[in-house]
Each structure stands twice: as C-alpha cells, then as structure tokens.
Amino acid sequence: MKPLIGVTCNYGETTATVYNTYSRAVAAGGGLPMVLPDAGTGTLVETLDRLDGVLITGGGDIPPERYGDEKHPNAKLVTPERDAFDAMLLEELRKRELPTLGICYGIQALSVAFGGTLWQDIPDQLPEAIKHHRDRDKGEPRQLHMVRIEKGTQLHRILGVDRLETNSSHHQALREVPSPLRATAFCEADGIVEAVENPEHRFMLGIQWHPESLIDRALHLKLFEAFVAEASR
C-alpha cells in the first residue's frame, strides 16, 4: 500500500484550501496525499496515528509573538485558525518519528517551533539580499536562483549535488536556526538559509523554495521520492 501523507491547508473559519501542486507532488513521489482536517486536538492525534508522513505547506506569515518579536508593517499573517492548528501539529510532530517535510512557510513554522526566529521582511531588513519574493498581482514568475547544499547532510545525500537551481516566493526567512535543527543549504547570492534538517529525527526537512512546482525536474522530484520512501518504512 502507498504511504499516507497528511497535507496541511490554509485554514479559515469555514474553509480549508491548499494548492493542488502539493498533493500532486506527493502522488508523483509515490505517496497517497490526504488533506488534514481541522477538527480539534483529539482528531489530530488520532489522524497522526494513522499517517505515515506529514507535509507542511506554504502560507502566510507566522505571528511574530511566537518568536518574541513585534509585527513588521509588511507582515501578512496566516489566519488564527491556521496558526493554532499548525502550533498543535508541530507540538505533536516534535514528539514523534513521523517523517516531516516543511515547504516555505513550513520551514519557518518548523524553525519557530524549536525556538528559532525570522527575518520578517527581507527587502526591508536585508536590503542587500536578492529578490526572493514575487508580486502575484503583477503576474511575476517565481524568482530563480542557485542554492549551495552542505556536504554530509541528509539533503545532500538525497539530491547528490552541491548546487541546485531553485525557485523562490517568500519575503521572510530564517534568522536564528535553533538546535537541534541544522542549516543545510544557503542562497549563493546572499547567504539566506534555504534548508534545514533535524539530525536527531529520522526525516525532518524544511525547504524554503517550492519544489512542488518543479517536479518536472528530476532533482526536485527526488525530495518527494525520498520523503515518501522514508514514510513507507
């Protein structure tokens, strides 16, 4: 049987939405995607007991009070419903050996859950950085740039390369990476953290770019294949 992968959503008071690219990437990697319901702590615990892995998808910005900061004027926060759900989810995932993959907002939520902090607005706080965000209203494509991958890391073993061209669609980034997480990839142009992993966990990766939109490229598909393969064990 294919491993069952829970996929998080952008939760609202009456809706739960997620881009199809995430589910399609899980399926392309060999898994069976299942959208996670927001139905309270008890339901979440029972659901996680039946899952083989969890994908934390992209979204808005994490409330800065979660990492001891004041809200930047350019921050666009996730809904209170998503914030509460993901905080509950990450608390459970820290206790479990359930394979976990966080993408964009997902890497940030993962880092904050372990005590990390964020740059709330790259253009304002890191003016020398390259452009990592895009203006959806203007129909801008995702920015492309190269990342450098640290040798000896799980990410390097999965991809088998030192450098990778990635897309980009974020205006926030990891600032302080907390233990036990380890930064494993960096933007070549400005040093912004592009990936983290937890060496104390069987599979817990955070990716700042959007590999789900690049599964037509073999290296990006490899991330989902490795994630699903670990979930199948």
Annotation says 104 is catalytic: yes
Place of tokens 């950085």: 129
Kindly name the residue from 201, 210, 220, 230 that is annotated as catalytic: 210
Pick from 11, 200, 184: which is nearest to 94 by CA?
200
The structure tokens listed for 195 are: 């990936």
What residues contact 116, with CB distance under 8 A and at least 6 apart?
67, 174, 175, 176, 177, 178, 181
Are 88 and 40 spatial neighbours (Cβ–Cβ below 8 Å)?
no
**Which three-class secondary structure state does DSSP give residue 11?**
strand
Annotation says 212 is catalytic: yes
Annotation says 210 is catalytic: yes
Kindly name the residue from 9, 104, 132, 171 that is annotated as catalytic: 104
DSSP annotation string for 56-125: E---SB--GGGGT-PPPTT--BPPHHHHHHHHHHHHHHHHS---EEEETHHHHHHHHHTT-EEES-HHHH
Phi, psi of 39 (to 5 degrees): -135, 25
The structure tokens listed for 119 are: 């740059």
Kindly name the residue from 132, 145, 170, 212 that is annotated as catalytic: 212
Positions marked catalytic: 104, 210, 212
